[in-house]
A and B are shown apart, each in its own frame.
Chain A
Amino acid sequence: MGAPGSAVFAGGGQMMGWRSLLQPHRIVLMALFAGLVVWCAISLRWDWIPEYAPLAIEGAWRTIWILVVTTVVGFLLAIPLGLAQAIGPWYLSMPAKTFCTIIRGTPLLLQIWLLYYGLGSLFPQIPWIRGSELWPYLRQAWPYAVLALTLSYAGYEGEVMRGAFAGVNKGQLEAANAFGMPRFTMFRRIWLPQAIRNVLPTLGGETILQLKATPLVATITVVEIYAVSSRVRSDLFIVYEPLLLLALFYMIIAGIIALLFRRFELKTGSRL
């Protein structure tokens, strides 16, 4: 997942000037594309949009919310996972490595179903859970969705961070050590910032991959943007229109993610 992830980003990084858009073949391509858009607008059915717009906005918001929460928490989990694998003693690195291997070795869809329906099939057997204060949350679908996506991101990024921690220049750490810098300060001031700077391009790609994983949670009744498009599909029996809009939505969000990470990178100077 790592390699194509970073490739996504490299592709997004090649910004073209406006002038280069004015080459003859590009004008033809754009005209063709515009023609396609007009054809879609005329010959496909769009009258349903006003009715479903509020639902779609709610769904889009939920997609973004899930994406942000799971990437942030997942990344925070990935730091200890990477550290444990890079320098931890065997009793820490072994479980961390096993966790990452299992997460990366099985389909996310299966993980989501295992968490939601697997745990769901246990609840009737344990009556006290239903009486506990957590029950109102355990009844909802989103905690399972967030948990599954967070663990998945942590698993993939744990592997990325392992490489990043191992790749930080040893000389700098030795220098800090020589100046008597405490171990935690050294980690916080030198090791972690450099590791993060090194993985920023990869993280951008991985975050887009995480965005692309979010529609899977629709299968456990979370109503995000994909679920809304399914609803339109099943209410009106139209196939292409909601899917095309959906594809457009994901492309815009992916573009925004790529731009955000590019700005981060320029700020931290990780593309020197």
Chain B
Amino acid sequence: MDLILDTLGLAKSAELLSLSPPGWGGNLLRGLANSLQIAFGAFGFGLLIGLFGASGKLYGGVVIRDLLAIYTTVIRAVPELVLILILYYVGTDLINQASSALGYGRVEISGVVAGIWVLGIVQGAYATEVLRGAIQAIPHGQIEAARAFGMPSFMLMRRVTIPAMMSYATPGLANLWLIATKDTALLAIVGFSELTLETRQAASSTRAYFTFFLAAGALYMIVTLFSGAVFARIEKWARRGQPSLRGAGK
């Protein structure tokens, strides 16, 4: 193994990337874990916002609909980088002011929580649109049938709307998840030690820029390909019992 690496001139890279110090591989993996944690949280938080946002846009009153329209339009027109800076500073500022006004001292906001909150709000805007489209794609008769049997609205959502829209929503949500994993890289700008910042620190400490940027790229690729496989399975599962779309023609 060492011989192969030596002949390829990669011995130095392998040493730099080894998992225990003096290698920086451990740092990269720790960064990846942070990235994934934030991506998971933001995706989940975004999904929650999206679910409420989509129901609000479809069934809410005029005021709620207008407010949601403003939310989704603004979030989707302003660069994530700018939103992250605004939400990061405004968010922590507001929470601290509110808590000191209520007489509780300072609230400690960990980097992970701040990252989840910031990216979650961004994700929520996209999730609202994805879920709205998916709910609209459900044949209306199914929802009417449930209503006709007197199903309460929460049960209707849990038993009919969500399962029925899953197959329509999965491709869009898969896309959103990939955006979430890649957007965590932007948190490097506000100083979170996620994968991209760890990479930058490792690269500048060792001056092996190519090695580390390529290694980080490979890690992101693995996440992307793995998630692609997982979402393909979810989509297959969500589509169970439905006629194949492939043969249906354009």
- Chain A residues packing against B (C-beta within 8 Å): 1-4, 7-8, 10-12, 23, 25-26, 29, 101-102, 104-111, 113-114, 117-118, 120-122, 167, 169, 208, 211-216, 219, 226, 239-240, 243-244, 246-247, 250-251, 254-255
B118-154 contact mask (Cβ, 8 Å, vs A): 1 or 0: 0000000010011001000000000000000000000
Could you list 6 examples of A-B contacts with CB < 8 Å?
A118-B213, A120-B209, A216-B81, A250-B82, A251-B77, A251-B78
Q: How far is the CA of A2 from the CA of B173 in the complex (A)?
A: 11
Hey, which chain B residues are within 8 Å of A212, CB to CB?
77-80
Contacting pair B214 A239 (CB below 8 A): no
Q: How far is the CA of A213 from the CA of B79 in the complex (A)?
A: 7
Hey, which chain B residues are within 8 Å of A25, CB to CB?
62-63, 66
Contacting pair A26 B66 (CB below 8 A): yes
Kindly provide the distance from the CB of B68 to the nearest chain A CB, expressed in whole angstroms. Answer: 11
Hey, which chain A residues are within 8 Å of B207, CB to CB?
121
Contacting pair A105 B220 (CB below 8 A): yes
Q: How far is the CA of A216 from the CA of B82 in the complex (A)?
A: 10
Q: How far is the CA of A167 from the CA of B130 in the complex (A)?
A: 22
Q: Does B193 contact A (CB under 8 A)?
A: no
Contacting pair B175 A1 (CB below 8 A): yes
Q: Does B161 contact A (CB under 8 A)?
A: no
**Contacting residue for A247 out of B73, B82, B89, CB 8 A:** B82
Contacting pair A106 B220 (CB below 8 A): yes
- Chain B residues packing against A (C-beta within 8 Å): 62-63, 66-67, 69, 72-74, 76-83, 85-86, 89-90, 126, 129-130, 133, 171-172, 175-176, 178-179, 182-186, 188-189, 196, 199-200, 203, 207, 209-210, 213-214, 216-217, 220-221, 224-225, 250
Q: How far is the CA of A213 from the CA of B182 in the complex (A)?
A: 12
Kindly provide the distance from the CB of B178 to the nearest chain A CB, expressed in whole angstroms. Answer: 8
Hey, which chain B residues are within 8 Å of A105, CB to CB?
178, 220-221, 224-225
What 3 pairs between A and B have smallest CB-CB spacing? A105-B224, A107-B185, A254-B77
Q: Which of A106, A113, A254 has the most C-beta atoms of chain B within 10 angstroms of its own C-beta?
A: A106
Hey, which chain B residues are within 8 Å of A243, CB to CB?
82, 85-86
Contacting pair B221 A247 (CB below 8 A): no
Hey, which chain A residues are within 8 Å of B224, CB to CB?
101, 104-106
Please name the residue on chain B nearest to A211 by beta carbon: B79
Contacting pair A250 B78 (CB below 8 A): yes
Q: What is the interface of chain B mostly: helix, strand, loop, or mixed?
A: helix
Contacting pair B210 A11 (CB below 8 A): no
Contacting pair A3 B62 (CB below 8 A): no
Hey, which chain B residues are within 8 Å of A8, CB to CB?
76-77
Contacting pair A215 B172 (CB below 8 A): no
Hey, which chain B residues are within 8 Å of A2, CB to CB?
175
| 19 new A-B contacts at CB < 8 Å, known A3-B130, A105-B220 | A4-B76, A4-B129, A8-B77, A10-B129, A11-B72, A102-B217, A104-B178, A104-B224, A105-B224, A109-B188, A113-B213, A208-B76, A212-B80, A243-B82, A244-B86, A247-B74, A247-B86, A251-B74, A254-B76
Please name the residue on chain A nearest to B218 by beta carbon: A106
Q: Which of A29, A111, A247 has the most C-beta atoms of chain B within 10 angstroms of its own C-beta?
A: A247
Hey, which chain A residues are within 8 Å of B176, CB to CB?
3-4
Please name the residue on chain A nearest to B181 by beta carbon: A107
Q: How far is the CA of A169 from the CA of B250 in the complex (A)?
A: 9
Q: A104-B224, A110-B199 are in contact. Are A7 and B213 (CB under 8 A)?
A: no
Kindly provide the distance from the CB of A49 to the nearest chain B CB, expressed in whole angstroms. Answer: 18
Contacting pair A117 B86 (CB below 8 A): no
Please name the residue on chain B nearest to A213 by beta carbon: B79
Q: A4-B126, A4-B129, A215-B81 are in contact. Are A107 and B172 (CB under 8 A)?
A: no
Hey, which chain B residues are within 8 Å of A219, CB to CB?
189
Q: How far is the CA of A114 from the CA of B214 in the complex (A)?
A: 8
Hey, which chain B residues are within 8 Å of A214, CB to CB?
79
Contacting pair B73 A11 (CB below 8 A): yes
Please name the residue on chain B nearest to A7 by beta carbon: B129
Q: A243-B85, A250-B82 are in contact. Are A4 and B179 (CB under 8 A)?
A: yes
Q: A226-B82, A243-B82, A247-B86 are in contact. Are A4 and B220 (CB under 8 A)?
A: no
Contacting pair A215 B79 (CB below 8 A): yes
Please name the residue on chain A nearest to B199 by beta carbon: A110
Q: A104-B224, A212-B78, A247-B82 are in contact. Are A109 and B129 (CB under 8 A)?
A: no
Hey, which chain B residues are within 8 Å of A122, CB to CB?
210
Q: How far is the CA of A13 from the CA of B130 in the complex (A)?
A: 16
